[in-house]
Structure 1
């Protein structure tokens, strides 16, 4: 089966982005770099946690990156959420419901696995309360979502 990889178009800061991303994620490496005749970077290949990516310095992009495409990071706990959120949002901007835009304009979703569990709780009131709590957050705080879900539990039920 052919390998499928994500290809990202940068204006002229591809290597800065690749070096940043490969430093953020474990099991990541720069796999290859192509240059123009003048020595400037044309393209690169890299992995993030073993997943393949490609990028080009394609010059100014009319639309740039948009939220219509994002990279999603499933986190096992709040510590991972905090690390990836704080590292990737630095120099960028936070958005709602686990989304952020990094300093290169790329959108990310930093999502604790617990969020999926809470918003799919078999008790609809708990699931709705967790989802409502998520809608008020930028970076997801697992304890706050759990507290909202627990508060929706009818009295006397543990």
Structure 2
């Protein structure tokens, strides 16, 4: 059987992939930018003229998970159908990641938030399944924006 290669998420940014990578590696421990390949100079054609110096292919690692990204222009945008899950050990971690990643108040619900780049995140406790076993707990979660573990435990 052939060796299985890892699956990497690819994030398509309009024109701020470099800024996003830099921001994310500051948010998550054990993170780094691995490489950045820029679009070539504007001598190729009109499309490349607008993209010169932007990220054609970026590679970065967030707490051990490898990602790739690119600046592709405004053709595609992020939406809530895809989110990145951050499993947290305690309320302090939830509070810290929430403060750094939630930038769109109207997108907050049930531990989901959206950052300033439009990427959706789920900032949840690592034992979320245990905390949402009973209908009362699910009811509490459905009314939360940021997850508050104590409220789920007391439901």
TM-based fold match above 0.5 = yes
Q: Which residue of 2 aligns with 1:23?
A: 26
Pick from 94, 100, 113 the counterpart of residue 126 of structure 2. 113
What's the RMSD between the two structures over aligned residues? 1.2
Instruction: Give the match's secondary structure for 2:154.
Output: helix
Specify every segment of 5 or more residues in structure 2 that has no aligned partner in the other structure, as ranges.
42-52
Q: Which has the higher contact order (CA 8 A, sep 6+)?
A: 2
Pick from 79, 90, 95 the counterpart of residue 77 of structure 1. 90
Q: Which residue of 2 aligns with 1:86?
A: 99
The aligned runs of 1:17-56 (5 Å cut-off) are 17-38=20-41, 39-56=53-70
TM-score (structure 1 length as normaliser): 0.84
Distance 1:80 1:28 in 2: 17
The offset of 1:146, in angstroms, is: 1.2
Q: Which stretch has the larger CA shift, 31-40 or 138-147? A: 31-40
Specify every segment of 5 or more residues in structure 1 that has no aligned partner in the other structure, as ranges.
121-126, 149-158
The offset of 1:33, in angstroms, is: 0.2
Distance 1:5 1:13 in 2: 19
1:129-150 deviation line (CA, Å, top 9, x unaligned): 11110011000001111111xx
| Count of equivalent residues | 140
